[in-house]
Structure 1
Amino acid sequence: MVTLLLLGGAIGFRMLLSAHHENIGGAYTLFDTQGQKVTQDNFRGRYTALYFGYTHCIDVCPLTLDTISAALERMGPEGQNIVPVFISVDPQRDTPAVMQNYIARFSPRIVGLSGSPEQLKPVLDAFHVTVRRHDAKAVDYLIDHTSILYVMDGQNHLAGMIPIDDSAEQMAVDLARILHKN
């Protein structure tokens, strides 16, 4: 299953790389783990590293959040210039309390966002994120989704994309490169 998800992510990453960067990203309105409304304007002037996933993911999502947390730590003070954001693609199970408990395992810096399916759809579309739920009737269903780290600049424009299968060391290098080129 992990291989299939990573292969799907790699294919999705290659497709996104061929897309025009100005066509990726956009305005959004979601809710944080405290139930407060959050838009892209909350991050104006700061870089964000957006990752779309879900808390019941058994492998790729927790590994990605752990890797991004370690990468930002490795960057030292420069890593403080990037806000890691985890956007849930599973609003049915990822309540604010579930999200808060989940992201706390990785870093207190991670901002968890979610919303209703209607609120998530334009965000998923803007970032070209595909989501496919397996076995819709099962309680412990799995979700296939695009797995890429989107790095947005302080004006909410795509500054770069990073594959999620990078090591923390490589991700730190990639993030620093993105910060320095913009």
Structure 2
Amino acid sequence: MRRRKLILGGAGLVGATAFALGVGAWRGGDSRRPADAGEIANGRADLSRMAWRLIDDRGDPVGPQDWIGRATMVFFGFTWCPDVCPTTLMDIADWLEGLGTDADQIRVAMITVDPERDSPEILAEYLSNFDPRIRGLTGSADAIAKAAEAFGVTYMRVLRDDGDYTLNHTSGVFVFRPSGELASTIDFHEERRFAVPKIRRAIG
């Protein structure tokens, strides 16, 4: 837990460095970069056509049909992510602030790609460092794989020299209309002046 807090403490510096280098997704020592959300938004990402089932950070079951009827923002990440995930979460908190009272009309969720380490309790503690409206979702390895496939998201485990592991994963945020239809995607570190209008249009 101490390591995760240190990661959060340095998130701003590391995130700024990643942005300066033009990094779209954290490589973790691997030269292959998973696609950004905008690159894989090809019509498959429609909540009404998905069938995954996960558990949120309060222990409640969640499926895509539960999200129909309200605009939704979703991205994939994990709590041990050193830069892209905390930066994305800080950006989302900033967008929600920019939305003002309209922020209450959209739900936000991070789906972990590291179910081995990210239990509901771990997700709840981690996300408490950001906006309280952001929920975390986890599940079995198979359930996470099914959800990722539904969104067209890719992720891969990368072994580190110290014997631990990290994960490469698709970056960016999916934004859905209340109907469940994908409205747009927001790329990693997209400016607030572009991101907030996309979200407002999804809210409708």
Q: Same fold (TM over 0.5)?
A: yes
Which residue matches 1:118? 142
- Single out whichever of 114-123 and 23-32 deviates more from structure 2: 23-32
Give the Å deviation of 1:41.
2.5
- Single out whichever of 171-180 and 53-62 deviates more from structure 2: 171-180
Local SS of the residue matching 2:76: strand
Cα RMSD of the aligned pairs, angstroms, is: 2.2
Q: Which runs of 5+ in 2 are unaligned?
A: 1-16, 26-32
Give the Å deviation of 1:13.
4.0
1:43-96: per-residue Cα shift (whole Å, max 9, x none)?
221111001000000000001011011101111111211111110000011011
Percent of aligned pairs with the same amino acid: 31
Local SS of the residue matching 2:73: strand
Matched, 1:24 2:42: no
Local SS of the residue matching 2:165: coil
Give the Å deviation of 1:5.
4.7
Which of these residues, 130, 138, 158, is aligned with residue 134 of structure 1? 158
Q: Structure 1 counterpart of 2:130, which letter?
A: F
Alignment of 1:14-163 (within 5 A): 15-17=39-41, 19=42, 21=43, 23-25=44-46, 26-135=50-159, 140-163=164-187
Q: Which runs of 5+ in 1 are unaligned?
A: none
Aligned length: 176
Q: Structure 2 counterpart of 1:72, which letter?
A: L
1:101-157: per-residue Cα shift (whole Å, max 9, x none)?
111110110111011111111111011111011117956422110012111222322
- For normalisation by structure 1, the TM-score amounts to 0.86
How far apart in 1 are the matches of 2:136 and 2:113?
A: 11
- For normalisation by structure 2, the TM-score amounts to 0.77
Which of these residues, 19, 24, 42, is aligned with residue 6 of structure 1? 24
> Is the Cα–Cα contact under 8 Å of residues 68 and 168 in structure 1 kept in the other structure?
no
